Amino acid sequence: MRPAATLLLIALLASPSIAIAQAPASAPEQQALLAQADEVLAEMSKLTGLPIKGPLKKQVLSRPEIRKFLEETLDEEYTPTQIHKEEAELKAFGLVSKEFNLKEFLLAFYTEQAAGVYDPRRKTMIIAEWLAANIQEMVLAHELTHALQDQNFDLLKFMYAERDNDDASAARQAVMEGHATAAMIQRMMGGAPLAALPSLQPMMEGVIQQQFAEFPAFTKAPYFFRLQALFPYIHGMGFVQKALQVEGGWENLDTIFRNPPTLTKEIFEPSIYFDGKPPAPVALPRPPALEGVRGLRVLSESSFGQLGYFALLGQFISEAEAKKIAPSWLADRFIVYESKADGRFALVARSRWTGPELALAFFRDYHTILTTKFPGLVADPRSTSDLFIATTTNGNLILLRKGDECRWAEGVPAEKTEAMLKWLESL
């Protein structure tokens, strides 16, 4: 899933007409591509300060071969259990429909603009034979930076160190992709130091917005997916540009790989990372009210993070509201339960905000989200300006604002509602 997203960004940065399929490369042309890869690898090593620690395997593949490779990579990265868990989380939060098939979506979404990619499992640079020369250089600059990252920091170990924490994993991916994107842009600019330039992030966002219409699967995807796909490159690049300013150059960026951010908030707001003062996490024990409920089992426990809440608000409310509220996120935790018998989910979550007013603002937004998720819900007369209780076809729900926190539970059996309310109040 992640490698293809890299190619999506490169395609979006380029004019779509440039990447039109060319004739298959001849044997001499393939040799020239392999030699070009060696030259670009040496250039990126010099630019980033990351030494080449061993020979690089390289393959030149056709478009169908690369598509097949990406499909195989998806199968390797995401077991059926992992796919089911992530699909269930999306459905529990209401970000996709009950009929949504995550694997089919990912195949369409991430192979729409398939091109070359560095494969950290096989330690191999996969080169697309059909790309025009200027696009080929961009792909190679980005992907061969990943090869250097892998040789120096072990990308698989780096990326999967926090696999059970969605927010930490997204922050690590932003470091990896932001570093490669910044290096690619540095090379394109012919040596002008990124650290000396104003933030390039607004420019990147503007260019990408102009290109959306060229990619049907990307354009039609829910806001959540579009944001998640582009965040590592756009905001990750902004984070790395700030790191270059703080650390004094490419050769000093080992820190962001050896001690990476643990929150996407640190990517959105790099000063939090460089000041060494990330907000404290919140705990969310399993609620006794749902323990022992027949047929209900815990499927996943994680943190949505500032990125997740930005996506949630952006998809259900508006991007403007997401930009207004999400930066006030400080911490969160959620638990997703599944009932295999009827395919229903229960969701319990706790979030902390920068103050009571912002917690109340999110409370009101999430109240609106709940009315969208559960049309026809019936409000309980006990509901107040800080408490919303309602009955739905999926069980009862409780939304509570207490001080600087919002806590809620969805899919609660009717007979457990009072116990769940008391437990949420006690946290």
pLDDT value, residue 23: 63
Say how far apart CA 105 and CA 103 lie, in whole Å.
5
pLDDT value, residue 191: 66
Say how far apart CA 100 and CA 182 lie, in whole Å.
35
Tokens for 46, please give them: 């010099």
Query: What DSSP string runs through 325-347?
Result: HGGGEEEEEEEEEEETTTTEEEE
Of 103, 132, 93, nearest to 115 by C-alpha is 132
Tokens for 171, please give them: 């922050």
pLDDT in tens, 317-344: 999 999 999 999 999 999 999 998 888 9
For β-strands 378-379 and 387-392, DSSP reports them as: antiparallel
Helix (H, G, I), strand (E, B) or coil at 361: helix
Residues with Cβ < 8 Å from 424, sequence gap 6 or more?
287, 398, 400, 407, 408, 409
Residues with Cβ < 8 Å from 163, sequence gap 6 or more?
169
Contact 346, 398 (CB under 8 A): no
Q: Is the pLDDT of residue 20 over 70?
A: no
pLDDT value, residue 16: 41
| Mean pLDDT score of the chain | 90
Supply the Cα-derived Rg of the chain in whole angstroms: 23
pLDDT in tens, 399-415: 999 999 999 999 999 99
Q: List 410's β-bridge partners, or say none.
A: 347
pLDDT in tens, 200-227: 888 777 776 666 557 788 888 899 998 9
Q: What is the DSSP letter of 189?
A: T
Of 381, 313, 389, 298, nearest to 347 by C-alpha is 298
Confidence tier at 12 by pLDDT (50, 70, 90)? very low
pLDDT value, residue 8: 46
Q: Work out the average pLDDT over 350-360.
A: 98
Q: Work out the average pLDDT over 230-242.
A: 94
pLDDT in tens, 138-184: 999 999 999 999 999 999 999 988 878 999 999 999 999 999 999 99
Q: Residue type at 162?
A: E
- The beta strand positions in 70-132, using DSSP E, are 117-119, 124-128
Helix and strand numbers, DSSP H then E, in the chain: 18, 10
Tokens for 50, please give them: 């990351």
Question: Of 7-21, 84-98, 199-213, 291-305, where does mean pLDDT reach its minimum?
Answer: 7-21
pLDDT in tens, 258-293: 999 999 999 999 999 999 999 999 999 999 999 989
Q: Which of the pair, 93 or 206, is modelled with greater confidence?
A: 93
Confidence tier at 14 by pLDDT (50, 70, 90)? very low
Question: Of 215-229, 247-261, 295-309, 380-394, where does mean pLDDT reach its minimum?
Answer: 215-229
Q: Is the pLDDT of residue 2 over 60?
A: no
| % of the chain with per-residue pLDDT over 70 | 92
Q: Is the pLDDT of residue 19 over 50?
A: no
- The beta strand positions in 82-180, using DSSP E, are 117-119, 124-128
Contact 78, 103 (CB under 8 A): yes
